[in-house]
Amino acid sequence: MKRWPSTISTRWRRGNRCTLFRGDCSELLGKLPPNSVDLVLTSPPYCIGKAYENKTQASDFETDHEAIIPEIIRAVRVGGSVCWQVGYHVTNGVVTPLDFIVYEIMSRFPEMRLRNRIMWTFGHGLHAAERFSGRHETLLWFTKGERYEFNLDDVRVAQKYPGKKHYKGEKKGAYSGNPLGKNPSDVWQGCDVWDIPNVKAKHVEKTDHPCQFPVGFALRAIKALTKPDDLVLDPFVGSGTTAVAAILARRRFVGAEILAKFHKIAIVRAEAAARGHIRFRPAELPVYVPPKNTTLTVRPRTWNESKKS
């Protein structure tokens, strides 16, 4: 892979290729000129008491977002995009979809238009006992204004049945699919063939950060919504996944991370990406299907005596 042209900076300057600011994102946002960012892609703290959070209420999430969203909208150019990835807040078994809160605040700004509410589904996570186990989160994609960038051909995925043909009409007998692949849809498990699994213990991208999103996930948004050399912003950098994806896609990047230990991880990953040494799972990798009749896939004999599981 080709070496990226410049190093990682920790102080924001307009000409930087990649800035990983260590500190509060509101300080970074204050330095960014208005209308300077092409895409914001982030996953904010959910205020669910994670190790990096001191807030635990959905109302904290709302208050924080009321402060940051106007700053984000100011920084994004007209025609740019804002992608906000969130899950659920759960208190005493009561679930609040955090994207409802984001949508409500974003809707106060008439220039912001929701283009997709993407379901990101995955196969692994905590097992709930008193409700169905959570296996999806959402990505809200807004544009600032009416016209926007959308490079569908850069993110198409292979069809399940590429040999399918029209069976009637003028095109009867001709292949019905697009040779470049199909639209990945607003459900990002991709489709039945491709998968974007969440970053759990054995994932090649796993770092010490507790809530990474995968590089393949960020790459899809960046490739679809920006051009090479455009500026991508992630105000909540975490382990630096958005920076890595931006570098791989040859976009410029700016982001902030408040905690030193995650900021260090982000720098190491961004440098590895710039050198072409980063390990990541492309979204186009086929889903692993375990072979039949292994100890992993066969129902344990002792279970046959118990009720259906």
Ligand X SMILES: C[S@@+](CC[C@H](N)C(=O)[O-])C[C@H]1O[C@@H](n2cnc3c(N)ncnc32)[C@H](O)[C@@H]1O
Point out which residues bind ligand X (CB under 6 A). Answer: 24-25, 43, 45, 52, 209, 211-213, 236, 238-239, 241, 256-259, 262
At position 14, the amino acid (one-letter code) is: R
Query: Could you tell me the smallest distance in angstroms from the CB atom of residue 145 to ligand X?
Result: 26
Nearest to 195 by CA among 249, 203, 99, 142: 203
In this structure, the number of other CB atoms found within 10 A of the CB of residue 186 comes to: 14
φ, ψ (nearest 5 deg) of residue 36: -105, -10
| Rounded-to-integer distance, Cα 144 and Cα 86, Å | 20
> What is the token pair recorded at 35?
């209308």
Residue number, 216 or 238, with CB nearest to ligand X = 238
Nearest to 137 by CA among 188, 87, 200, 196: 87
Residue number, 199 or 224, with CB nearest to ligand X = 199
The answer to whether 251 and 232 are in contact (CB under 8 A) is yes
Residue number, 43 or 81, with CB nearest to ligand X = 43
Residue number, 143 or 198, with CB nearest to ligand X = 198
The answer to whether 209 and 45 are in contact (CB under 8 A) is no
Residue number, 45 or 190, with CB nearest to ligand X = 45
> What is the token pair recorded at 54?
């001191």
Nearest to 286 by CA among 214, 221, 197, 202: 197
Residue with tokens 């043909």, as numbered in its chain: 165
Residue number, 60 or 79, with CB nearest to ligand X = 60
